[in-house]
Chain A
Amino acid sequence: MSVDDRFRPLEQGDVEEEGIRSEIITGPVSDWATDFSHLEPEWAADPYPIQDDLRQRCPIAHTDRFGGGWLPTKYEDVAAIAYDTERFSSRSIIMGNFRPPRDVAPVGGSPPISSDPPFHQHARKLLLGAFTKTAISRQEPATRAFCHELIDKFEGRDVVDAATEYAQHIPMRVIADMLGFPPEDGPQFADFVEDLLEGINLPPEDRIQRMERLFQYLLDQVHDHLDNPRDDITSYLIGAEIFGQKLTAEHVTGAMALLLIAGIDTTWSAIGSSLWHLARNPADRQRLRAEPGLLPVAMEEFLRAYAPVTMARLVKEDMTWHGVDMKADDWILLSFPAANRDPAQFDRAGEVVIDRQVNRHAAFGLGIHRCLGSHLARMELRVALEVWLARIGEFTLAEPGNPAAVRWSTGQIRGPRALPLKIK
Chain B
Amino acid sequence: MKVRINPELCQGHGRCYDLAPELFGADEEGYGQVLGDGLVSPDQERTARLAAANCPERAIDVEET
Q: Which residues of A line the B interface, CB within 8 A?
A: 125, 128-129, 131-134, 296, 300, 357-362, 364, 366-368, 370, 374-375, 378
Which 10 pairs between the two chains have the least Cβ-Cβ distance?
A132-B30, A370-B11, A128-B29, A358-B53, A133-B14, A360-B56, A128-B30, A370-B13, A360-B54, A132-B26
Q: Give the Cβ gap from B59 to chain A, nearest Cβ, in Å.
A: 11
CB distance A128 to B53 under 8 Å?
Answer: no
Q: Is B18 an interface residue when CB atoms closer than 8 A count as contact?
A: yes
Interfacial chain B residues near A134, Cβ < 8 Å: 26
CB distance A362 to B29 under 8 Å?
Answer: no
Between A and B, 18 residue pairs with Cβ closer than 8 Å are A128-B29, A131-B30, A132-B29, A132-B30, A133-B14, A133-B26, A133-B30, A300-B54, A359-B54, A360-B53, A360-B54, A360-B55, A360-B58, A362-B56, A364-B56, A370-B11, A370-B13, A375-B30
Contact residues, B1-59 vs A (CB, 8 A): 11-14, 17-18, 26, 28-30, 50, 53-58
Give Cα A134–Cα B29 distance, bound, in whole angstroms: 10
New A-B pairs, 18, CB < 8 Å, besides A374-B14, A375-B30:
A125-B29, A128-B12, A128-B29, A129-B29, A131-B30, A132-B28, A132-B30, A133-B14, A133-B18, A359-B54, A360-B53, A360-B58, A364-B13, A367-B57, A368-B11, A370-B56, A375-B14, A378-B18
Interfacial chain B residues near A367, Cβ < 8 Å: 11, 57
Interfacial chain B residues near A361, Cβ < 8 Å: 56
- Chain B contributes a number of interface residues (CB within 8 A of A) equal to 17
CB distance A133 to B54 under 8 Å?
Answer: no
Interfacial chain A residues near B55, Cβ < 8 Å: 360
Give Cα A357–Cα B54 distance, bound, in whole angstroms: 8
Known: A370-B13, A374-B13. A129 touches B54 (CB 8 A): no
Interfacial chain A residues near B14, Cβ < 8 Å: 133, 374-375
Known: A125-B29, A132-B30. A358 touches B12 (CB 8 A): no
Interfacial chain B residues near A129, Cβ < 8 Å: 28-29
| Closest chain A residue to B10, Cβ basis | A370
Q: Give the Cβ gap from B31 to chain A, nearest Cβ, in Å.
A: 8
Give Cα A362–Cα B55 distance, bound, in whole angstroms: 10
Q: Give the Cβ gap from B40 to chain A, nearest Cβ, in Å.
A: 18
Give Cα A358–Cα B57 distance, bound, in whole angstroms: 14
Give Cα A405–Cα B46 distance, bound, in whole angstroms: 45
CB-contact partner of A358 in B17, B28, B30, B50, under 8 A? B50
Interfacial chain A residues near B56, Cβ < 8 Å: 360-362, 364, 366, 370
CB distance B29 to A133 under 8 Å?
Answer: no
CB-contact partner of A366 in B12, B17, B57, under 8 A? B57
Give Cα A358–Cα B50 distance, bound, in whole angstroms: 7
